[in-house]
Amino acid sequence: MPDCPRIVPVRQTYLKYLLDRLLRPRAFHLSVISFIDALSKGASTSVGYRTYRELRVVALTVLSPRGMFDWKHRALYTWITAMSETVSLLFRYAESDYVRALRAHYSSRLQVRLDIVAAIVIALLGAYSWRSPDYHWLSVVCLGASVVLLLMLFAAFVVIPPLTFRTEAKFRDDYALTFSQDGIHFRTAHIDSQLQWSMYSRALIDRYSYVLYYGSRQFTVIPKRVFQNAEQQQIFEQLLTQHVSKIARRDT
């Protein structure tokens, strides 16, 4: 690996180093690794978020005209984009956002199809037992258990989600969220805080939203509809993949 020049607290030094190395195709792979390694070690505290934005511009201007978009250049450009970009979202929850997310949460925790099949089988057993006078008690127990199980599923997927949304005042606030490598800036009319990615232990992605879990049962819902475009959503997913290790996808 080639030696990386001494890092000094001037952003232009980094940009010039990367630009010079990019113009040497043979040294491209190792030089980029060397540069990223030196940068990641935090050799200078003055090099931060703004530098990454400048690096993205350099990558776009240098790589694009030369037609060098092979896998190495795409990897570099993706890395620079993820490091430099922030995702700023401003939205207010619609009832359908929370209802869909809570249903996705329940679906990930419950064996819904198995529960429905079990309820039907128990009900059939109860109906069959009713024909025998000696087993009326078993019939009543089976039918009662089947009804209770179906009512629980009905409540979880139909009653509880909209009821929870309508009774929680926080869902009527406007949310301003900014996601970056440094964390999440979370702001509402009542809250203004900077959160760390480590707060979230896992995530669930379904067709309509991103569900980010913190604690045992609490989660933050990010509706997919609030992203301005596909590129912004892709950058968010890159940040999510980098910082949250356990991600379950149910969006296919």
| Residue 125: pLDDT over 90 | no
Q: Which residues contact residue 187 at a Cβ distance below 8 angstroms, ignoring those fewer than 6 apart? A: 175, 176, 177, 193
Domain boundaries of the chain, sorted by first residue: 11-84, 87-94+170-250, 96-167
Give me the percent of the chain exceeding a pLDDT of 90: 44
What tens digit of pLDDT does each residue of 24-57 get?
554 454 555 555 555 544 433 334 444 455 555 5
Alpha-carbon distance of 6 to 202, in angstroms, equals 39
Q: Which residues contact residue 143 at a Cβ distance below 8 angstroms, ignoring those fewer than 6 apart? A: 122, 123, 126, 127
| Residue 9: pLDDT over 70 | no
| Phi, psi angle pair for 94, to nearest 5° | -95, 155
Q: For residue 55, what pLDDT is reported?
A: 54
The token pair at 244 is: 């949250």
Alpha-carbon distance of 225 to 82, in angstroms, equals 21
| 22-26, 120-124, 133-137, 139-143: range with lowest mean pLDDT | 22-26
Mean pLDDT of all residues belonging to the chain: 77
Alpha-carbon distance of 76 to 33, in angstroms, equals 10
Neighbours of 100 (CB within 10 A): 19
E-strand stretches of 85-228: 87-92, 174-180, 183-187, 192-195, 202-206, 209-214, 218-223
Domain 87-94+170-250 has CATH 3.40.50.620: no
Burial class (CB in 10 A: 0-12, 13-18, 19+), 199: middle
| Residue 207: pLDDT over 90 | yes
Alpha-carbon distance of 81 to 180, in angstroms, equals 11
What order do you get walking across the sheet with 183-187 strand by strand?
87-92, 174-180, 183-187, 192-195
Distances (CA, A) of 70 to 25, 26, 66, 77, 80: 12, 14, 11, 11, 16
CB of 87 within 8 A of CB of 239? yes
The verdict on pTM exceeding 0.85 is: no
